[in-house]
Amino acid sequence: MGNKNLLITGSNGCVGQYLIDWFLKNSNYKLVLMVRNPNKLPVSTRNNKRINLLTCDIRDCKKFKKELREINYLIHTATAWGDPKRAYEVNVIAFEELLGLLKKNILEKIIYFSTASILNEKTELMRESLIYGTEYIQTKYQCYENLRKSSFANKTCVVFPTLVFGGTLKGNSRFPVSYLTEGLKQAKNWLWLARFLKIDAKFHFIHAKDIAQICGFLIKSTEKRDYGFKKYVLGQKFITIDEAILILLKNYGIKRYFALKINKAIIKFLLNVLPINTTSWDNFSINKYNFNHKPIANPETFGLKSYAKSLKDVLKLAKLPRCNIN
């Protein structure tokens, strides 16, 4: 087991660095990290004898053919969004080129990171995400379809994270701060208005630390010959936007005197009369309204224990400041 090589792409990211931390503490694997900028990794990680850095853009991974032929496990988190051309090159073409450099008789498992945005409530592939989705969502849809039909399918586990929290807001965070956790800093700026609104739309969330331990379990289960194409939507039990608002209000000591229920129809009306530009995906998401899935998977699904099972746990791990605003 100690000689196994685990490749993690997107190692500089929030989830990537939680994965590195988990496997350094809970395995004897040699970690092969594909990074564009190794200076974004902690010094202790860069200097660790179990770490082998492959410094490149994933589109240039061919320069490491020799190292990639020795990979036993792959956790693919690297992704791109914003620019349609780059998103297609990174999310589809480069990933397929990477797979082509791996030796099938040595490779034991792939954990591929997709997005829950391409699935409906029953965790089935949602065609609308290909029609209305952003370039990121569309390329994830396409890559999932390609992977499911590929010769790597029986060694693949696809994970679909829901909303991801990670990192801390107080002092220097040991891990990169996720976009969602970063957004918590602005919570008090809009809660004065949000406290008067009641929105019952549902969503799931999961902490990057819990994602890491789930991936650790899935990789180690391969040692027991657990193969076959699998997929898991990663998230804790859904909560409503209103429940999330109430938790944040309590954290900041803000009182709610009354709340106006805002439903889908009211949201659509406001978007029509206010000067707000929306994309096709925004409009589809408003019509969809709820973003809950069944079944979902969290650490308890695999006999583990969640670090952040509730939104209160998330706020505690994020070290969100508490204050009183009236």
**What is the spatial distance between Cα 214 and Cα 221, in angstroms, rounded to a whole number?**
11
Tens-digit pLDDT profile for residues 148-173: 999 999 999 999 999 999 999 987 88
The answer to whether the beta carbons of residues 141 and 92 sit under 8 Å apart is no
Extents of the domains making up the chain: 5-164+205-234
Predicted TM-score (pTM) above 0.85: yes
Whether the predicted pLDDT of 310 surpasses 70: yes
Buried b / exposed e across 17-33, counting CB within 10 Å, b at 16+? bbbbbbbbeebebbbbb
Q: Which of 99, 64, 100 is nearest to 78 (CA)?
A: 99
Nearest residue to 16 (alpha-carbon basis) of 166, 223, 173, 169: 166
250-268 pLDDT, tens digit per residue, is: 988 888 989 999 888 887 7
Mention every residue, 6+ apart, whose C-beta is less than 8 A from residue 189.
none
Residue 271 has pLDDT above 80, yes or no: no
Q: How far is CA 120 from CA 142, 268, 313, in A?
A: 16, 21, 27
Structure confidence at residue 275 (pLDDT) = 66
pLDDT of residue 1: 46
pLDDT digits (tens, 9 = 90+) for 6-52: 999 999 999 999 999 999 999 999 999 999 999 888 888 898 999 99
CATH for 5-164+205-234 is: 3.40.50.720
pLDDT tens per residue, range 90-137 = 999 999 999 999 999 999 999 999 999 999 999 999 999 999 999 999
Strands 202-203 and 239-240: antiparallel
Cα–Cα distance list, 191 to 61, 89, 205, 313, 315 (Å) = 45, 40, 20, 20, 15
Report d(CA 2, CA 223) in Å as an integer. 12
Residue 264 contacts residue 202 (beta carbons within 8 Å): no
